[in-house]
Amino acid sequence: MVRDFLVKTGSKLAQQVETEPFSSVLQSMELLAGPKEAIYPKNVALMMFNDHPEKFFPCTQVDIVMFPGGKVKDPNNFIEVPPITGPINAIFDKTMIYLETNVLKLKVKKVGTKSESEKAWNYPYAALEEIVANCLYHRDYRQREPIEIQVEPHELRFISYGGPDRSVRLEDFSKGIVNPRRYRNRRIGDFFKELDITEGKSTGVPTIVGAMKENGSPAVKFEFDEERTWFMVTVPVHEWFLEDDTENDIENGIEKMLQLPLVLTDRQLKIVGMIEKNDRVTTEEMMARCKVSLSTINRDISQLKKSGVLIRVGGDKGGYWMIARKVK
């Protein structure tokens, strides 16, 4: 994971991973602390370069819940997505891939007498990307609560624990200019900047506001409690997607796909089970365990992708599998 990060960010340290003691590389990245006789990894190292940061920071995950009929109108009708876990930078990637694949929709329509068609997204990708990044960056990892994303036909809600610093006022968010005096998890921010996940310099809120305006969407709503224990961002859907709620893409697209009868073979269930244990399992390992040919494995994987069970994140080398739909 360290090597992949260094390669991706173009660091010269990538060459030293194979030639220098690994502890020296980690020290150069400021990932270790303590005296030589009792050295230990810093929190950011356990969060970003470790498959299971939740062992050290419980509830390091993103929970997505979909309410096709609306949380108020039909609260008992919901779809829970399997928790998104892993290193926090991988959680960011997986969350955005899930939202892009299962939530984001594009509409193109003629407006008035204009000769050219106009297009709009139900939610602009750039705004959601910034919100998810800041949820992971600024959350309080001492709180044993996951980041929550609630999907309704008319809006998305992102809830993170705890709230912003005392130096930030709620009215600052409405103005689109937020300049906190103190940052939580500054080291996470440093690594996120290197990965181009965030830009820093208090650009998050202006980016969100600008993306919503450019898409023609209503303004985002920011909320937090007086004790600063939680922070919530509500993103309203573009008005085009409210024209006919009964045919809304979120309800009739995602809900219908997820509620279709899911019939998997024993071998496909076995493949899913292998991925649950190791999201980087290779097709060769699947072949060996299932005792079938490569073409058979590829056919099973193709069917699992089409049914919404699997998503591939990244390429054959360095990529991993994401289970996007629960199977029994």
Residue 200, domain CATH: 3.30.565.60
Residue 51 lies in a domain: no
Q: What pLDDT, on the 0 to 100 scale, is given for residue 257?
A: 47
Residue 310 lies in a domain: yes
Statement to judge: residues 183 and 280 lie in one domain: no
Statement to judge: residues 192 and 314 lie in one domain: no
The count of structural domains within the chain is 3
**pLDDT beneath 50: ranges in the chain:** 245-261
Statement to judge: residues 74 and 161 lie in one domain: yes
- The predicted-structure confidence for 172-214, as pLDDT tens digits, reads as follows 776 666 766 677 888 999 999 998 888 766 677 888 999 999 9
Residue tagged 């965030």 (tokens): 198
Q: What pLDDT, on the 0 to 100 scale, is given for residue 259?
A: 47
Residue 194 lies in a domain: yes
Q: What pLDDT, on the 0 to 100 scale, is given for residue 200?
A: 63
User: Among 322, 261, 265, 273, which residue's Cα sits nearest to residue 299?
Assistant: 265
Q: What pLDDT, on the 0 to 100 scale, is given for residue 299?
A: 85
Residue 294 lies in a domain: yes
d(CA 136, CA 129): 11
Residue 50 lies in a domain: no
Residue 219 lies in a domain: yes
Q: What pLDDT, on the 0 to 100 scale, is given for residue 170?
A: 76
Residue 48 lies in a domain: no
Q: Which domain holds residue 31?
A: 2-41
Compute and round to an integer the Cα radius of gyration of the chain: 22
Statement to judge: residues 104 and 230 lie in one domain: yes
And the tokens for 290? Answer: 């299932």
d(CA 250, CA 102): 8
Statement to judge: residues 231 and 281 lie in one domain: no
Cβ partners under 8 Å of residue 312, min gap 6: 305, 319, 321, 322
